[in-house]
């Protein structure tokens, strides 16, 4: 029989966290798939909707990097897909040509509002008491 150490306990807790995360992400992907979204797509729309409550407001893509669990290049590709679907618009920062802004479109806001209850229901089922 293996001896439980403090490290073993930490490893077990870490694996439990990863398992809950994986189950939750898979379930979010499953319920959002019929709407053409994945969990990461929704996360970007959700952050933009909460950070930019008024239509036309913009957010620097760089500010999303720390809030979304994707690399900057993966986030850029995701935003490109969302833009292609008409859910967000990108623009270049006039003061700093390297900076890129992103904003939700009306279509993006509508889709976010429609699927947010589905995502929140998954969170309630998988993370609730």
How sure is the predictor about 115, in pLDDT bands with cuts at 50, 70 and 90? very high
**Given this model, what pLDDT does residue 51 score?**
82
Q: In this prediction, what percent of the chain has a pLDDT beyond 90?
A: 64
The residue among 38, 109, 122 whose CA lies nearest residue 77 is: 38
Place of tokens 């609730």: 128
Percent of the chain with pLDDT over 70: 90
Burial class (CB in 10 A: 0-12, 13-18, 19+), 97: exposed
Instruction: Give the span between the Cα atoms of 127 and 35, in whole angstroms.
Output: 23
Q: What is d(CA 111, CA 51) in angstroms, rounded to the nearest whole number?
A: 16
């Amino acid at each position: 029989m293996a001896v439980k150490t403090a490290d073993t306990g930490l490893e077990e807790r870490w694996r439990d966290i990863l398992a809950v995360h994986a189950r939750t992400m898979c379930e979010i992907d499953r319920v959002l798939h019929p709407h053409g979204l994945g969990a990461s797509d929704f996360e970007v729309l959700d952050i933009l909707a909460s950070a930019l409550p008024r239509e036309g407001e913009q957010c620097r893509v760089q500010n999303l990097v720390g809030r979304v669990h994707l690399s900057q290049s993966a986030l850029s590709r995701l935003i490109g897909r969302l833009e292609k679907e008409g859910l967000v618009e990108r623009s270049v920062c006039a003061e700093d040509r390297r900076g890129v802004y992103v904003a939700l479109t009306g279509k993006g806001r509508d889709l976010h509002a429609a699927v947010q209850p589905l995502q929140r229901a998954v969170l309630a089922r998988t993370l609730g008491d």
